[in-house]
């Protein structure tokens, strides 16, 4: 399953890991609560892996880029898919 990135109606929700089986992120004694996103998910190696294996661009090469659909994996599915 992927998330279609649409221009107008698309919004990004926080990448929450969950705190005690609920919403939010656990306390990080080494920095910001969302540091895992920058250090893990958006690291060079991880982002290259996501682009190579999970991101999909639908449409044909002859279509304008604005007419094509970009699908991006949801954060909570990333660990399962890897």
What pLDDT shows up at residue 44? 93
**pLDDT value at position 64?**
93
What local confidence, expressed as pLDDT, does residue 63 receive? 94
For the chain, which ranges sit under pLDDT 70? 1-16, 76
Question: Which tokens in the block code for residue 62?
Answer: 């002859």
Residue 33 confidence (pLDDT): 81
pLDDT at 48: 93
Q: Are the C-beta atoms of residues 55 and 73 closer than 8 Å to each other?
A: yes
User: Are 47 and 31 contacting, i.e. CB atoms less than 8 angstroms apart?
Assistant: no
Q: How many CB atoms lie within 10 A of CB 75?
A: 16
């Amino acid at each position: 399953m992927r998330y279609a990135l649409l221009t107008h109606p698309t919004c990004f929700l926080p990448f929450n890991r969950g705190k005690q089986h609920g919403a939010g992120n656990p306390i990080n004694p080494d920095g910001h609560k969302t540091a895992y996103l920058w250090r893990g998910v958006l690291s060079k190696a991880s982002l290259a892996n996501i682009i190579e294996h999970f991101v999909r661009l639908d449409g044909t090469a002859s279509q304008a880029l604005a007419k094509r659909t970009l699908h991006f994996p949801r954060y909570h599915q990333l660990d399962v898919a890897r």
